[in-house]
Amino acid sequence: MVKRYDDKKIEQLIYNIYKGYGFTEEESQEVAHMLIYTDLIGIESHGVQRMIMYDDFIRNGKIRVHNQPEVVKETDVSAVVDAHFGLGQLNGIYSMRLAIEKAKQHGIGMVTTRNSGHYGIAGYYANMADEEGMIGLSSCNSRSAMLPTHATKALVGTNPIAFAMPANPNTFIFDAATTTVPQGKIEVYRKLGKDMPALWVAKDGETPVNSHSDTQDLDALRDLDSNVGLAPLGGVTEDTGSHKGFGLGVIVEVFTAILSMGNTSNEITPDDLSVGPCQSFVAIDPSIFGDKDAIIAKFSAYLQAIRDLPSVPGKPVIVAGDKEAAAYQDRSANGIEIDDKTLAEVTGIAKRLGIDYAQYVD
């Protein structure tokens, strides 16, 4: 069952848990804010729920609590950061701040990081630039999950692209895997016992796997050597644009793993503690191109023209960021949604760390 909880209290609980792991006060604050923000904008799959996975990683040494991100190469407009397997979120926040600082001084900042960890939603980092009135981009690679067009084996990650830009009334935030859907969406459908409504998973390069009860095939999604993988955005044939989603996934590899000389998707194996995903962070100050207010006003007017289009009955045209803004308003007022299983697991972590959690979840 899913219940609503006060976001401020849960944020405090997360803060205490991360402090309990040994992160500093500031670090714990940053992680808690990031995870709660994710739940506030309605992306429950990547917020509080992910604490279970991070807890495993902290305990098995995949996430190294005391390691700090390090700038290994730098120019006025760029940096390469080695995250040394610290927490992905902290690396992300550090790297995006660096990109923003460079953009403040030189107009553009571009940071690529290696040896990082799972950093949650890419949109969070893009949005950090938006909060400074800038354009933000962030991408992440991951272990192989996407089938390159015609391939019977995956070799590109789900490799999301996030882009944020100030607009009124809502920030434009695009955050999308370059596969048709991310891995997590498949898991949600399996849990719910629902069949997949479109070609999300393919076997042998082109056969759709749509039934939630295709247990063997769906389990094989996690097996890097299997003949099952996620369809790129655009499906598995050129006719539907498969090569475009595949190409975009490769471009993400360039900005993350290639430029940072980190691990490409095919080098990331879940059990190896000495490899990790790579990420990229870009901030661009619109002022270098013109009057920022005028640019934002023009963009807002364009987005409004899109919203105002006639549409399929009952299905309004939704601009990227609008759903998140509505969720934020709702969750801020009525609490974030946490399912019982997740809550039990999180309170279990708290208990193990000796944290009195009862006051945060009543």
What distances in angstroms separate CA 57 from CA 299, 334, 341, one per listed residue? 41, 32, 19
Q: Does 259 bind a second copy (CB under 8 A)?
A: yes
Q: Scanning residues 78 to 97, which ones bind a second copy (CB under 8 A)?
A: 78, 80
User: Least distance to a second copy from the beta carbon of 93, Å?
Assistant: 21
Q: Which is nearer to a second copy, 73 or 341 (CB)?
A: 73
Q: Does 326 bind a second copy (CB under 8 A)?
A: no
Q: Scanning residues 271 to 300, which ones bind a second copy (CB under 8 A)?
A: 284, 286, 288-290, 294-295, 298-299
Binding a second copy (rule: CB under 8 A), the pick from 65, 250, 275, 353 is: 250
Q: Which is nearer to a second copy, 26 or 239 (CB)?
A: 239
Sequence-distant (≥ 6) Cβ neighbours of residue 9 within 8 angstroms:
359, 360, 361
Q: Scanning residues 173 to 232, which ones bind a second copy (CB under 8 A)?
A: 174, 176, 180-181, 197-199, 204-206
Angle between helix 25-40 and 122-130 (nearest 10): 100
Sequence-distant (≥ 6) Cβ neighbours of residue 337 within 8 angstroms:
2, 3, 4, 5, 39, 44, 331
Binding a second copy (rule: CB under 8 A), the pick from 12, 152, 226, 347 is: 152
Angle between helix 7-21 and 25-40 (nearest 10): 140
Binding a second copy (rule: CB under 8 A), the pick from 12, 211, 266, 347 is: 266
Residue 333: burial class (beta carbons within 10 Å; 0-12, 13-18, 19+): exposed
Binding span for a second copy by CB under 8 A among 39-47, 87-95, 302-310, 348-356? 302-310
Q: Scanning residues 111 to 130, which ones bind a second copy (CB under 8 A)?
A: 112
Q: Scanning residues 13 to 42, which ones bind a second copy (CB under 8 A)?
A: none
In this structure, what DSSP letter does residue 231 have? P
Binding a second copy (rule: CB under 8 A), the pick from 88, 245, 276, 335 is: 245
Cα–Cα distance, 119 to 104 (Å, whole number): 24
Q: Does 305 bind a second copy (CB under 8 A)?
A: yes
Structure tokens at 114: 């290696």
Binding a second copy (rule: CB under 8 A), the pick from 3, 8, 150, 341 is: 150
Q: Does 318 bind a second copy (CB under 8 A)?
A: yes
Task: Tell how strand 78-82 and strand 108-114 pair up.
Answer: parallel
Helix (H, G, I), strand (E, B) or coil at 116: coil
